[in-house]
Structure 1
Amino acid sequence: MRWTHQISSALLALAVVSPALAQQDTTPAPGASPQQAVPLDEIRRYVTVFNAVRAAYVEPVADTKLMQSAIRGLLLELDPHSSYLDAEQAKVFEEQSRGAYEGIGVEVQTLKDKVLKVIAPIEGGPAAAAGVLPGDLIVAVDGKQMAAITDVEPLRGPTGSSVTLGIRREGQAKLLEIVVQRQTIRLSSVRSRLLEPQYGYIRISTFQADTATDFAQHAKRLAEQSVEPLKGLVLDLRSNPGGLLTAAVQIADELLEQGTIVSTRGRLSSSDSHFEATAGQLLPGTDLMVLVDAGSASASEVLAAALVDNQRARIIGSRTFGKGSVQSVLPLDNGDSIKLTTARYYTPSGRSIQAVGISPDIVLSPEASNTAAGDYREAGLGGHLEGELEQENAGLPSGDFLPGDKPIEQALAALKTPPGQAAPAE
């Protein structure tokens, strides 16, 4: 769920506080915004606490650790997607966008006491093979509670090494222990096949730097494999947690001849952007059916909304996660970085899906309870950024996870059925 948006000079300027400010009067000049005043009383209060901890805590604490803790705290309660990344975490973040790292292959959200909530196991990865499910809570690693772990990336490690996960799962009374062997995770984010003559299938599991290029190659290959022109394509975005927004925009551009793809708006003008499709498209005349579920988030929601709002596709599945915010990454001079929510994105029709998600045109239900139950949506995350349409949609239920091949069969049946007509019973 990330977009490494370029930080403008304006945002950098806001991040720099000169020592001389400590001597300045905080009374705003006539016409100036009150938010621009430096809160000297609060800064003095922080310095008092900092000095008290440094002088009187039962054991010595390095100044660097205290400052990093303070910065983490500054970002912690903004929203679940703003965070402080030390140099190692920043490296991991960059590796994920490139699609190769050593670990168990799972997308997680950090909760209170460092508990990790599984967003989605990476398809084909060791965590998925070991039985880790979306919605699982990782409360311990190798027998140690998450709150007591100092390693910033306890799930990472050399290929071949094993890790024991203590997992709390909805509906399970006992704590589960799942052993996962770490591997080099090379994320092949796109795969495809012909479902039957003239009907293709493309699965996108995450959005990486090379995903748009891979998608174009798979689409062309399917067109070549089909003896007759492709009539329809199922685009599978289930449990796709997002990734690089630029990759989703590029894929939308490949499938659209014209029209708005997505726009973003934030407090700074530099956070505002607008993406339009350019002339020329892949698979012209091929009907599209986009398959989504509760794990489809962020960039995958951008792609789905761009296609449906431009009448290029229909959506089948379950309500999506509802992450409609943009994160910018600010590198610091010591190798650390700050990931900060700086904007909301808006679909071509002008709506924000933050904390609401996308409702499919055709709703599917899971066959069995083979995923962890619970409130799995952006609106269910503590401290989430409030959505513009959240209040009026407060009564809507969260979506379901739709694993397995059955939803693909249902999407194909719906794809072959003209809009407005019921798909044949399965």
Structure 2
Amino acid sequence: MSRNTLEEIGSLLILVWVMLMSMVSPTLWGTQSGSPDQTKVVEEAWGILNREYLDPTFNHHDWDLVRREALTRKYVTRAETDAAIEAMLRPLDDPLTRHITAEELASTFDEITGKSGGIGVTDPWLIQDQNSGRFRILHLVAGSPACEGGVLPGDIIADINGKPAAGLRHDEFLMALRGQSQTSVSLRLLRDNKPVDLTLTRKPLSLDTARA
């Protein structure tokens, strides 16, 4: 297995770790009384990356300085916390390590647990190039419409229902792919710089595994 593959897997594991911590850690989402401690959210997000990130140089940035700058103020709202974590991640310049908001996480779990229709292209197996704004697929949900309908890992999604996908926010992109079960979505993919047009029918998904 190549070093690039190992780094890719490691970054995905960090992303899943952050997602799980956001669901179960009491210090992340509230005190024992249920009152959220948003400053603690920022501090623990920094700590997760400090412990788990593969690049010990943090993209040649002073990670302790990043912490000090992030904790110079108190955070009250979830929006302030989300913005602080996004700012903390920006120096890493790593599309595989990103912050998922509570709303995005809930939407993703609705899709992969079958509560809403999807095609099997979802977090955390999707990255957006920070320069071009394009979305590239890393893995597919096994047995999903995308997996069975001709989408391949490595494909870039250029258009969704005839509209350019590049430049969409991550949540906007995912919402364009999701919808009611048995409705269709048209994709234009780029594969080896050649266009591939597909129409897929959304369905409830079961997250058995992901296919590389």
Normalised by the size of structure 2, how large is the TM-score? 0.55
The equivalent of 1:177 in structure 2 is 197
| Distance 1:98-1:76 versus aligned 2 partners, 3 A rule | farther
The equivalent of 1:283 in structure 2 is none
* RMSD across aligned positions (CA): 3.9
> Runs of 5+ in structure 1 lacking a partner?
18-33, 45-63, 190-204, 207-238, 240-294, 296-426
Alignment of 1:159-238 (within 5 A): 159-170=181-192, 173-187=193-207, 189=208, 205-206=209-210
| Distance 1:117-1:77 versus aligned 2 partners, 3 A rule | farther
CA distance in 2, matches of 1:182, 1:142: 13
| Distance 1:152-1:178 versus aligned 2 partners, 3 A rule | closer
The equivalent of 1:74 in structure 2 is 88
How many matched pairs? 154
Q: CA deviation at 1:84?
A: 2.8
Give the match's secondary structure for 1:133: coil
The equivalent of 1:133 in structure 2 is 152
Contact 1:164 1:177 in 2 (8 A): yes
Give the match's secondary structure for 1:106: coil
Q: CA deviation at 1:141?
A: 1.3
Give the match's secondary structure for 2:99: strand
| Distance 1:87-1:167 versus aligned 2 partners, 3 A rule | same
Q: CA deviation at 1:120?
A: 2.4
Q: CA deviation at 1:109?
A: 1.7
Task: Select the residue among 86, 98, 103 that pairs with 2:101.
Answer: 86
CA distance in 2, matches of 1:83, 1:37: 17
> Runs of 5+ in structure 2 lacking a partner?
1-11, 30-36, 44-63
CA distance in 2, matches of 1:168, 1:130: 15
Q: CA deviation at 1:126?
A: 1.0
CA distance in 1, matches of 2:40, 2:66: 10
Q: CA deviation at 1:156?
A: 1.0
CA distance in 2, matches of 1:10, 1:128: 35
Contact 1:118 1:137 in 2 (8 A): yes
Task: Select the residue among 178, 181, 195 that pairs with 1:156.
Answer: 178
Alignment of 1:322-341 (within 5 A): none
More helix by share: 2
Identity, % of aligned positions: 25
Normalised by the size of structure 1, how large is the TM-score? 0.30
| Distance 1:69-1:148 versus aligned 2 partners, 3 A rule | farther
CA distance in 2, matches of 1:126, 1:163: 11
More strand by share: 1
Q: CA deviation at 1:134?
A: 1.4
The equivalent of 2:137 in structure 1 is 118
